Amino acid sequence: MATSHKPNPTPVPAEGSKALAWIDARFPLSATWRAHISEYYAPKNFNFWYMFGSLALLVLVIQIVTGIFLVMHYKPDANLAFASVEYIMRDVPWGWLVRYMHSTGASAFFIVVYLHMLKSLLYGSYRKPRELLWLFGVAIFLSLMAEAFFGYLLPWGQMSFWGAQVIVNLFGAIPFIGPDLSLWIRGDYVVSDATLNRFFSFHVIAIPLVLVGLVFAHIIALHEVGSNNPDGIEIKANKDANGIPMDGIPFHPYYTVHDIFGVSIFLIVFTAVVFFAPEMGGYFLEFNNFIPADPLKTPPHIAPVWYFTPFYSILRATTSQFMYWLAAGTAAYVALLILKSRLAGFWKIVALAVGVAAIIGMFVFDAKFWGVVLMGVSVLILGGLPWLDHSPARSIRYRPTWHKYVYLLFGVCFLILGYLGILPPTETRTLVSQICTFVYFGFFLLMPWWSTMGSFKPVPSRVTFQPH
């Protein structure tokens, strides 16, 4: 008996698949997922240093979410601000947790970003073709500093008030426009309700928008040029027949799981601090900031939060006596540029003119002005790293061994500057700060020479990888 064969029915796509197809026809959701997650090939030899980028994104989300809940109850009014923070801490359900998550998150953000920048420094992640990626990162760091500064005033405690007063007054040291600039920033002749309102606006609206935009640009630039790796080797240089890097693996699921492990460790430490030591001995939340702002009572010692103190130490180190050493250092550096650099003749003349103008200015304008200049340059100089580092090897792994001690000396001096910035100044502390300031700037300004010196190890053509 013959059997009839019926054609197999066309499979009906699941509802989820139909919904995804409907979205993809109108928005490139699947294409974006593939391009930036599942089919984005990252080097297979990432180590724990490469977790800090994802952790920075996590902390940004924590800050935005907790900030939204804090704004629901905070009053940007000089007469009500401190009381509204107390209200959040005492009367709003779980308000104390949200506030401590936000304050701890501010310090966690800088810890994670500093470590992320250290990784880039060690492995040369700012080198070609990642110059723009690095510049976006420096812009994120500057925006983060601005965001932290504007937010620091909002609790309206003693240290918030006087810290803002001191920092804003620094702009008054700028010749000609300084006093008017300070007045414009404050919105009044002293830090007042007008200052609080404009700082609140910048902290809650303006800077977060800039920060989120820069983070988005940073990620897009990263995925355009590809991630660096501990060997400093371009994995795109070795591809298989399908155009896939032979030393690359998909970001998902390999590094998503990798980062989830890092996030778990981070959250354990983060919650331990939030629940057991949110003030962190006065480093995360100063004790003076639990006292309402009093314009008539100056605290005995005013210092910024710990993440600003390395640059604040550079400001304080710039005394009138230090100016002579600074002038001598500038003259020596200009001579080095003229005699030992590969600059064209025109640029040597420019360097000479700028150096002479700077030295003359050091004796025309007071030390306070130059302290502000050095404090600003100490941050902005980070943006010049891609053009200052001339090393034939990107990664510290293949550089001469003594290069590691140069990085170590720089790191120790940075930590010393940070610690001294918290303490009241003395003659000895000022002298140590001045020495560390010279080391800090020398690390960057002399990099075109020392980064090329020594015997370099051969760089392999493929990444080195040990399964773990």
- In tens, the pLDDT along 302-323 reads 888 999 999 999 999 999 999 9
Asked, for residue 214, whether it belongs to a domain, the answer is yes
Which long-range contacts (C-beta less than 8 Å, at least 24 apart) are formed by 174-177? 174/369, 174/372, 175/365, 175/369
Asked, for residue 190, whether it belongs to a domain, the answer is yes
What distance in Å separates the CA atoms of residue 423 and residue 11, rounded to the nearest whole number? 72
Residues of the binding site for heme b: 102, 116, 203, 218
Asked, for residue 11, whether it belongs to a domain, the answer is no
Split into its structural domains, the chain has a count of 1
Q: Are 333 and 445 in contact (CB under 8 A)?
A: yes
Asked, for residue 58, whether it belongs to a domain, the answer is yes
- Rg (C-alpha) for the chain, rounded Å, is 26
CA distance readout (Å), 421 to 169, 268, 436: 18, 29, 12
Residues of the binding site: 102, 116, 203, 218, 223
Does 202 score more than 90 pLDDT?
yes
Q: How far is CA 179 from the centre of its chain?
A: 29
pLDDT band, residue 4 (cuts 50/70/90): low
What CATH number is associated with residue 195?
1.20.810.10
What distance in Å separates the CA atoms of residue 104 and residue 102, rounded to the nearest whole number? 6
pLDDT band, residue 13 (cuts 50/70/90): low
Residues of the binding site for a ubiquinone: 223
Asked, for residue 421, whether it belongs to a domain, the answer is no
* Dihedral angle computed from the Cα positions of residues 148, 382, 405 and 425, in that order, rounded to the nearest 10 degrees: -50
**pLDDT mean over 161-183:** 90
pLDDT band, residue 95 (cuts 50/70/90): very high
The predicted pLDDT at position 10 comes to 53
Asked, for residue 373, whether it belongs to a domain, the answer is no
**What beta strand segments (E) does 67-226 contain?**
none
- In tens, the pLDDT along 255-309 reads 999 999 999 999 999 999 999 999 999 899 999 999 999 998 988 888 889 999 9
- In tens, the pLDDT along 354-387 reads 999 999 999 999 999 999 999 999 999 999 999 9
Identify the domain containing residue 220 by its residue range.
30-295
**What burial class does residue 90 get, using C-beta atoms within 10 Å of its C-beta: 0-12 exposed, 13-18 middle, 19+ buried?**
exposed
Does 72 score more than 90 pLDDT?
yes
With a CB cutoff of 8 Å and minimum separation 6, the contacts of 285 are 103, 278, 279
pLDDT band, residue 109 (cuts 50/70/90): very high
Asked, for residue 359, whether it belongs to a domain, the answer is no
Token pair for residue 418? 């940070």
Asked, for residue 458, whether it belongs to a domain, the answer is no
